[in-house]
Amino acid sequence: MYELLSSVVMSGALGAQFVLTLVLLKGDICPGQRGRLHKAFWFLVAAWALVVPFSPFSALPFIALGIFSLRSKSGKTRLSGPIPVLLLANGFGALAVLISAWHQGMFVGLLMISQVALVGAITGHCLLVRARSRLQAFHRILPVAGIVAAMLMALVIAVASTSMPEASANALVTSVLTSLGLVLVGVIIWAFHLLRQTPPHLLQLCCALIVIGGASGVAMSALI
């Protein structure tokens, strides 16, 4: 169970890392937002720390991201932290996920990669809202990216189910349907602010993260 949870946490941390890096490098952000984004990276440092016992290679992104966070100003600042260290942490994180995916097998590995986009996008969105980001484009783009990632996840589960022996596939019907149903509910909660044309709320996004994270865990347990 803990290994399944660590795989979901690892994928989500990497995806969120990519989102925050993109915002930090390409977003038009004020000094206050930049400082709050630097603080948000500490949540990802904690996430990598949680998975180190189950994936020793995760110690590298944990250390690199920790160094970046320590050397970044958390108050108002126009200066980003040491970007080369952040990019190195991203590379180490990608390698950690790929190594874990390789050991899990083809379909579970593909599922982990889809979770980088799905769980990572919703995690990154939560951190952006917590940092009071004013980049409205990301509030629209991230839910759409999540919908595409959810479709990819559903495709991986469907292909994996058809590749299993009939007896095994029938035994996993309940888990597969539960996972897909939770993903659908999570994406609807996530994109609810787009339907209402209102700013996203942190509570709304946290609920979506819990539901989508649960769906990812159920899907992982079904395919292993």
Cα–Cα dist 148/7, whole Å: 20
User: Over 137-186, what HEC string results?
Assistant: HHHHHHHHHHHHHHHHHHHHHHHHHHHCCHHHHHHCHHHHHHHHHHHHHH
Assigned token pair, 123: 């995690």
Asked if pLDDT for residue 2 goes beyond 70, the answer is no
Which of 184, 175, 55, 58 minimizes the C-alpha distance to 118? 184
CATH number at 194 reads 1.20.1630.10
Cα–Cα dist 57/40, whole Å: 23
Q: Kindly state the average pLDDT of the residues 206-215.
A: 92
Cα–Cα dist 223/156, whole Å: 10
| Residues 68-92 pLDDT 10s | 999 988 888 787 888 999 999 999 9
Q: How many separate domains does the chain show?
A: 1
pLDDT for position 218 = 81
Query: DSSP H helical segments within 105-135, as ranges?
Result: 106-130
What Å distances lie between residue 136 and 46, 54, 73, CA to CA?
Answer: 27, 37, 24
Assigned token pair, 158: 């469907």
Q: Which segment of 62-71, 94-103, 117-126, 130-139 scores lowest on mean pLDDT?
A: 130-139
User: How buried is 112 (Cβ within 10 angstroms: 0-12 exposed, 13-18 middle, 19+ buried)?
Assistant: buried
Largest CA distance in the chain: 59
Which of 21, 207, 29 minimizes the C-alpha distance to 133? 29
Residue 201 vs residue 108, higher pLDDT: 201
Q: Kindly state the average pLDDT of the residues 148-177.
A: 76
Domain span at 74: 2-223
Cα 186 to the center of its chain, rounded Å: 14
Residue 179 vs residue 51, higher pLDDT: 51
CB atoms within 10 A of CB 162: 9
One-letter identity of residue 154: A
Q: Which segment of 41-45, 166-170, 209-213 scores lowest on mean pLDDT?
A: 166-170
Cα 57 to the center of its chain, rounded Å: 18
Whole-model pTM: value is 0.91
